[in-house]
Amino acid sequence: QQQVKQSPQSLIVQKGGIPIINCAYENTAFDYFPWYQQFPGKGPALLIAIRPDVSEKKEGRFTISFNKSAKQFSLHIMDSQPGDSATYFCAGVYGGATNKLIFGTGTLLAVQP
Amino acid sequence: KAGVTQTPRYLIKTRGQQVTLSCSPISGHRSVSWYQQTPGQGLQFLFEYFSETQRNKGNFPGRFSGRQFSNSRSEMNVSTLELGDSALYLCASRFLALTYEQYFGPGTRLTVT
C-alpha cells in the first residue's frame, strides 16, 4: 500500500516537445505529492508539488495534473529544453508529522536538441 | 541562504568497517531526514529527526542509526558494513515538523569493497 508506481522508465523527446511522466499511488493517506528533478552527481531538487484537493498546478513550464478518483498524477514539461534532461521522481507523503517521502522509481528524460 | 551540506562527498570503506556521515541542514530548518539511493531499490527512507528526537524510521536493519544535535546537524552511522550498503546517502531538511517541503543535499557516495 505504500508504493508509488512511475512510468515510463525512460523517455526521449525533441526540443520543444512535451514529455509526460505518470505516477499512480495506492495509499489514500498520502496528502502531498511532490516531483523532484535529479541531475547526475546531485541530490534531488524539489520541482513542484500538489495537494490532492487540487486538480492542476502550474509553475513555469512544469504542470502537475492530479486525478484523485483514479489515484493518478502526472508531470508535463512544456517547451522542453536539453537542460531539462535529468531523472524525475514523483513521490507521495503521508500527512501530519510523519513526513516520509515514498518515491516512484524514476524516469530518465533525454531532450534532444 | 546556503543549502543542505553533506560531508564527506565520497567515501570508500571495507566490508565490516563502520562509517559516519554528516549533514548540516538549511539554516533554520529543524527536521533532518536520511534516504538511501541505489540503482536497484531507488530512493528509500531511512529515518527522520526533529529536535534531536527520531520521529520515524524506515525498514532498515539496526546497523543503520542516526542522531541529531542541538544545532540541528545530523549524523548517520552504519556499522558492520556490507557490500550492499554501497549507495548514495542523501540528507534532506525541512523547516518544521508540519511543513512538507524537503530539500536535499548533494549526498555522500559510499562504496563498500
Closest residue in A to B47 (Cα–Cα):
A100
What is the average per-residue pLDDT within B7-18? Answer: 98
Give the span between the Cα atoms of A101 and B21, in whole angstroms. Answer: 20
pLDDT of residue B101: 87
Contact A43 B33 (CB under 8 A): no
Instruction: Measure CB to CB from residue A93 to each of B43, B100, B106 and give the nearest one.
Output: B100
Give the span between the Cα atoms of A89 and A107, in whole angstroms. Answer: 7
C-beta of residue A88 within 8 angstroms of C-beta of residue A36: yes
- What lies within 8 Å, CB to CB, of B62 at 6+ separation is none
C-beta of residue B4 within 8 angstroms of C-beta of residue B72: no
pLDDT at B28 > cutoff 70: yes
pLDDT of residue A97: 61
Least confident range of A13-17, B10-14, B91-95? B91-95
C-beta of residue B105 within 8 angstroms of C-beta of residue B33: no
Interface residue ranges in chain B relative to chain A, Cβ cutoff 8 Å:
4, 31, 33, 35, 42-45, 48, 50, 55-56, 58, 90, 92, 94, 97-107
pLDDT of residue A88: 98
Average pLDDT, chain B: 94
Q: Which regions of chain A are under pLDDT 50?
A: none
Give the span between the Cα atoms of B107 and B104, in whole angstroms. Answer: 8
pLDDT of residue A54: 94
